[in-house]
Amino acid sequence: MPSENKAATSERFLSSQEIQSLVQERHSGIFSQVEGLSMDHFLLASTKAICERYKIHFANLSTIQRKFVTHYRCGQCGLLPLYHLDLLHIKRVRCRKCGQLIAFKKKGKYGKLRKEIAFELMKENHGDVMLADQ
C-alpha cells in the first residue's frame, strides 16, 4: 500500500511540474502557437530569409557560424537564442532570462544579420511593431 501511495504521489508531482513548465513557457512568450510553429522554427525561417536577402547561403554556413548568427552572448547566462532577447527598448536590450543589459550592436561579421533577425522575431511575436533603425 505505501508503495502505491508513493507512486501515485510522484505521478501527480510530475504532472504538476509539467503543467507548471507549460504555463511558464506560455507566460514568458518563448513558444508561439502562430501557425503551430515554435520560436525555434521562427528563428530558423527568419534567419534563412534574411540570409537570402544578403545572398548568404545558410546551408553552407558551418555549425559555429550558424550559432553566431542565431544566438547572442549574455554575460551571466551564456550563449542563448535570439528569441530570449527583450527588445522593448532598442537602446537597452536585455536578456529575458536574467535581465542583464546586452551589448547588441551591428558590429562584427554577423552583427547586422543578428540584429535584423531579432527584430523580425519580435515582429512575429508582437505583430507589426514599428522599430526605429539604430
User: What digits encode the pLDDT tens for the residues 90-133?
Assistant: 788 899 899 899 887 778 888 889 989 998 888 877 654 444 44
pLDDT higher than 50, residue 28: no
Closest to 45 measured CA to CA, from 58, 36, 55: 58
Closest to 66 measured CA to CA, from 84, 44, 50, 39: 44
Instruction: Count Cβ neighbours within 10 Å for each residue of 91-118 and write b for 16 or more, e otherwise.
Output: eebbbbbeeeebebeeeeebeebbbbbb
Residue 2 confidence class, pLDDT cut points 50, 70, 90: low
pLDDT at 110: 86
pLDDT higher than 60, residue 18: no
Q: Which tens digit of pLDDT belongs to each residue from 34-80?
A: 455 688 888 999 999 999 999 999 999 999 999 999 999 998 999 99
Nearest 5°: the CA angle 90, 44, 108 is 50
